[in-house]
Structure formats: C-alpha cells, structure tokens
Amino acid sequence: MDKTLFPSFYGADLGVTVMGEGWPLVLVHGLFSSAEMNWIKFGHAAKLAEAGFKCIMPDLRAHGASAKSHDALAYPHGVLTKDLAALIEYFQLEDYDLAGFSLGARTSAKAVIEGLEPRRLALCGMGLQGLSGWKNRSAFFIDAIDRFDEIKRGDPAFMAKSFMKTMGIDREAARLLLGAVDDVATEDLAKITMPTALICGDKDQDNGSAKELAAALPDGRYMEIPGTHMSSVAEPAFSDALVGFFSQ
C-alpha cells in the first residue's frame, strides 16, 4: 500500500492511497470520511486488490490527508469534480473504473457528466434525490457544523456530529467545501451512459431512492446490500457487490 500527495487545483495537495496491481479502479469516499475509513478499514480495498484491481483512493479536499484550507477561494463551485479530473490526469488513466460512496458518488456522477469516461461506474449509497436535491442534504450538514457545540443526543444531527468528532473533521474547511457542491440536473443523467451499479443498503434512504436513480440512468443496475447509510459500508456484501460488478 502506497500513500502519497498529488497537486490539484487552487494550490491544494491531496492525499491518495494506492493498493493492488491490475485494472485501475478509482474509489471516492463520502462526506466527513476518508479513503482509510470507507475503503481500507473494513477490507473492501484488500478484497478488490485480491480480485485484480489497482485501487486508487483519494482523500477529498478538507478530508483525511488532503489540504484543509480556510480560504474560500480554495472551494469554488465544482472543485471536487476538478480534483477528480486532476487525479485521473496525475495517474495518466485512460482505461479505468470509478466508484464513489455518498458524496463520492455524487462527485463521480457529476464528473462523468462533465466528461470523465470510466468503463464502468458504481454510485453507492446514492439515490435520485441525493443528486437532484443535494442542496437540501448539504444544508443539513452545514447546520450540524454551525450547531456543533449545542447538539445533544436525540437531535437529528447527533450522528453527524459524532462522526465529525470521530474523524477529527476540520469544520471550517468542511463548511466551505459543502458550499461548493451543486445539484445535479436530472436531465443530465442521460449523459451517464456506461454500465452503472447503484449499490445501496436495504435500510438506506439518506439520499433518496437508489432504485429510482437506477431507473433514471440509461444503463443503471440496482444492487441491494444489508444496512443503513452508515452501516452498509462496513458490510462484506459491499465489497462483494463491487467485485462482482467490476469483474464483468
């Protein structure tokens, strides 16, 4: 396993972890998480590496080992898709697969709409409303950041607060990043033409309906695994679904 930094836009150095050899598979983690938490801790990257994939796992800016600037100029609209394009260019990838979880799924979908061309795509923990209505979801997390010190157990934002605390999130940087993420227009989903897996927990409705998103895509395939939005990423079935889909 190799960890390094690569230069992206607006002076940001971003962390990336690489595991395995073979067909390149870019894995993009979710909000307040990291490559380590989403892909490595529960063995998903190791299982994919064993199946013949080279897992390339960036940390989103304001997360993990990546830059956490407090300068608003480092977070223009669309910066996450620019960062993903910079990663593809840095590794000189022409033939590759792409998967993202939650915010990583939204970033991956938007990047494909803007021109990235992976062979296959997996949008995990994501539904139709999580793409087209992202601003509502984003507002929930901005509120959790703003009320961080007053949130108590029983508050709808308590789990988000707890996860931010566990991950040691730089809340000022994360808030700036959230303001840089836009909705995905439903009509633009027609541009996602490659085979696309919608891998989602059977109790996960955090980003709306994954089944509806699968139906809205030209070649969407819904793949159900056990769990909620938080617990599904710890399930062995998650990496089993990824291996099965990307091995086709």
> How many whole angstroms separate alpha carbon 232 and alpha carbon 44?
12
Residue 113: is its pLDDT beyond 90?
yes
Residue 182: is its pLDDT beyond 90?
no
> What is the share, in percent, of the chain residues with pLDDT greater than 90?
97
Tell me the whole-structure pTM to 2 decimals: 0.97
| Section 218-233 average pLDDT | 98
What's the CATH fold of domain 2-246? Rossmann fold (3.40.50)
Nearest to residue 16, comparing CAs of 83, 112, 116?
83
Each residue's pLDDT tens digit, 32-79: 999 999 999 999 999 999 999 999 999 999 999 999 999 999 999 999
Q: Domain residues of the chain, as ranges?
A: 2-246
Nearest to residue 47, comparing CAs of 238, 233, 248?
238
Each residue's pLDDT tens digit, 18-29: 999 999 999 999
SS3 244: helix
